[in-house]
Amino acid sequence: MKESLERPLTALTGAGISAESGVPTFRGQAGLWRDYSPHELATPDAFNRNPELVWAWYAWRRETIAGCRPNPAHRTLVDMEESLKNFTLITQNVDGLHQAAGSKRVIELHGSIWRLVCTGCRYVGDDKRVPLPDLPPRCQICGGVLRPDVIWFGESLRREVLDAAWRVAAQSKVMLVIGTSAVVEPAASLPLVAQRAGARLIEFNPDTTPMSRHADQVFREPAGKALPRWWAETRGCWAL
Ligand code: BJW
Ligand code: ZN
């Protein structure tokens, strides 16, 4: 009997899942934080001090991401969503590549680089233009400075987004932890929440992370290779 039929499967993704698409990760040898300081670019203070500098960095990243396409790991998660009754994708990524691949239900913990929010009137809207005509971009309603709708260090995640992710984690029976260094809180706690509630953890990451010692199974390979293979081998065990 397929005992796992109705068991909720959850995936938590990080920057590593987009690495094979050409999107730089944050940490590690080729990571963004090697050449750029998070304190100068990814905090509300940094933005208040120097919005031009922060926007130059985000404009460059938007341009880079715009030239990237989803890879087999993103597409495998689309197949999981389309095939399974009970699958949830939680991502820390702001690049939109899960949606570009075709994932419809994505919990975006850290927001989206393709959405802007006004620091004046709080207007929020999608803006996928690359390049943006003016930097920093301005709000059409109040003239205030727009910022990327992402979560910076020291900022709280949206309450409803975090609650949803926490709930899903606590109900998971298997959580796939894919391409994250698992050091940024509160995202890094989600696999442990799942495990404490009885879930099996499966990590897909070429490198060791603080999550590795908790994982029940580890694939030390690029996600674009290991995830499609894992899914091809196990999809028959899940309710389709
Ligand atoms: C591959 C691969 C391949 C390569 N296949 N894999 C509790 C304890 C300690 C600190 C804190 C805490 N609570 C809060 C904090 C502070 C802070 C924090 O966690 N700091 C730690 C770093 C120490 N957290 C926060 O500030 C958060 N807010 C918060 O908690 O609010 C409440 C609060 C506030 C203040 C004080 C206390 C509480 C907000 C965190 C926001 C993170 N923002 C960023 C930027 C988003 C916008 C943007 O993109 O511009 O989010 S930082 C950056 O890190 C980004 C990512 O989403 C996030 C996680 O990174 P990720 O995805 O794991 O990427 P990498 O690069 O780290 O790892 C890539 C991995 O892929 C590696 O392992 C590779 O090996 C692997 N890989 N190729 C598979 N082919
Ligand atoms: Zn405004």
List, for residues 52-97, the tens digit of each pLDDT value: 999 999 999 999 999 999 999 999 999 999 999 899 999 999 999 9
Mean pLDDT by groups of 10 residues along the chain of 240 residues: 63 98 92 86 96 96 98 98 95 98 98 98 98 97 98 98 98 97 98 97 98 98 98 86
Listed residues 150, 177, 199: the one ending a domain: 150
- Give the active site residue among 39, 74, 98, 110: 110
Pocket of ligand 1 (CB under 6 A): 14-16, 19-20, 25-28, 31, 42, 92, 94, 110, 150-156, 179-181, 183-186, 204-207, 209, 222-223
pLDDT reported for residue 33: 86
- Could you write out the DSSP letters of every residue in 47-113? HHH-HHHHHHHHHHHHHHHHT----HHHHHHHHHHHH-SSEEEEE---S-HHHHHT---EEETTEEE
- 81, 194: one domain: yes
Q: Into how many domains does the chain fold?
A: 2
- pLDDT score at 14: 98
Q: Is 98 a catalytic residue?
A: no
Residues 141 and 214 reside in one and the same domain: no
CATH number, domain containing residue 116 = 3.30.1600.10
Encoded tokens for 170: 């606590």
Residue ranges making up the domain that contains 121: 24-67+112-150
Report how far residue 110's alpha carbon sits from residue 29's, in angstroms, rounded to the nearest whole number.
23
pLDDT at res. 6 = 61
**Spacing, Cα 110 to ligand 2 middle (Å):** 21
Q: 105 and 118 in one domain?
A: no
> How much distance in Å is there from the Cα of 220 to the middle of ligand 1?
20
Residue of the CA atom closest to atom 72 of ligand 1: 181
Verify that 123 and 212 share a domain, yes or no.
Answer: no
For residue 8, what pLDDT is reported?
A: 92
Whole-prediction pTM: 0.96
d(CA 180, CA 12): 8
Instruction: Report cis status (omega within 30 of 0) of the bond before 131.
Output: yes
